[in-house]
Amino acid sequence: MGGLFELTLDDVVGIIPAPTPQDDKYSRGVVGLAVGSDDYPGAAVLVAEAAMRAGVGMVRLIAPSRPSQLALQSRPEIVTVPGRIDALVVGSGMPEASSADITARVALCELGDQAPRIVDAAALGDTPHLGGPRILTPHTGEMTRLAEALRLPGSAPSAWAEALAAHWGVVVILKGHRPEVFHPDGLAYRLPPGSPWLATAGTGDVLAGLLGALSALRRLPQWSFDDLAFTAAAGVLVHQEAASRLSRHSGAGRPGPVLALELARELSPVVASLIAEGPEDDS
């Protein structure tokens, strides 16, 4: 692709196919979540809630007992039995040095070569072993640590993110006040500034779940870097819009605090505005 593209929500309308009377939970996409841990069990709740609020057909959670039970209490629709998935979110809410755990959980997933992987938090360093189309979601601190470990060229997070995308052949969302999306050919999208109230624990887990859902819902037979970058940018825009709406509501018309679980629940009306027009249900 190369170059710089500005996007708004209007530009991504239609990215999600409308449900039809013939659809079932499998045809609407299945997202697998290798997320959460005994140390950070709440991440499983947040990632799963976000994926469900985005309209995915099924969520499969691959996690230890504590985060699994907490997630099931919040969302009894979650399936904790391994099986086929169309996209995977991995790493959210897992402690550092989780490589063995990540490998074991991913091995339980029936994951095709073309199923996108959303690589977050503790799984970022395991990216080369995950294969397939990949979207990485580092914040500035994580990007700095990756740059030091890999000796990436440049002297700033944007330069490191661009180098990382080329180095590993992936799409990278550099999270921050004004997010940027890179793929191996360079900067793909510089997105509008998000609400400063997004700088709070758990909002990144919400983004990861949303990205997994969007990837599963699209179910492309082949994923190009352009497809991945567009999906990544769309997810960021939805996340930002949900945060903006929630902030205005919590502040009674003025910008106010954003809580992660409430942010996940705010995704549904934003996602609804992006669904492609479908056939009328005459049943």
**What's the pTM value of the predicted model, to 2 decimals?**
0.96
Cα distances from 230 to residues 125, 129, 251, 261, in angstroms, run 23, 24, 31, 25
Contact 115, 152 (CB under 8 A): no
State the residue for tokens 């996007």.
7
- pLDDT averages per 10-residue partition of the chain, 283 residues: 69 92 96 98 98 97 98 97 96 96 96 97 97 97 98 97 98 96 96 94 98 96 97 97 96 93 97 78 46
Is position 43 annotated in a ligand binding site?
A: yes
Q: pLDDT at position 279, please?
A: 53
Domain parsing of the chain, residue ranges: 9-272
Backbone φ and ψ for 153, nearest 5 degrees, come out as -70, 160
Is 204 marked as a binding-site residue? yes
42 is in an annotated binding site: no
Q: Is 183 annotated as a binding residue?
A: no
**AA letter at 147:** A
Backbone angles phi, psi at 220, to 5 degrees: -70, 140
What's residue 3's pLDDT? 42
Confirm whether residue 93 is marked as ligand binding.
yes
For residues 236 and 139, what is the distance between their CA atoms, to the nearest angstrom? 13
Distance CA 72, CA 58 (A): 13
> How far apart, in Å, do the first and last CA atoms of the chain sit?
43
Q: With respect to CATH, is domain 9-272 assigned 3.40.1190.20?
A: yes
The C-alpha atoms of residue 151 and residue 137 are separated, in whole angstroms, by 19
Q: Look at residue 278 in the predicted model and tell me its pLDDT.
A: 60
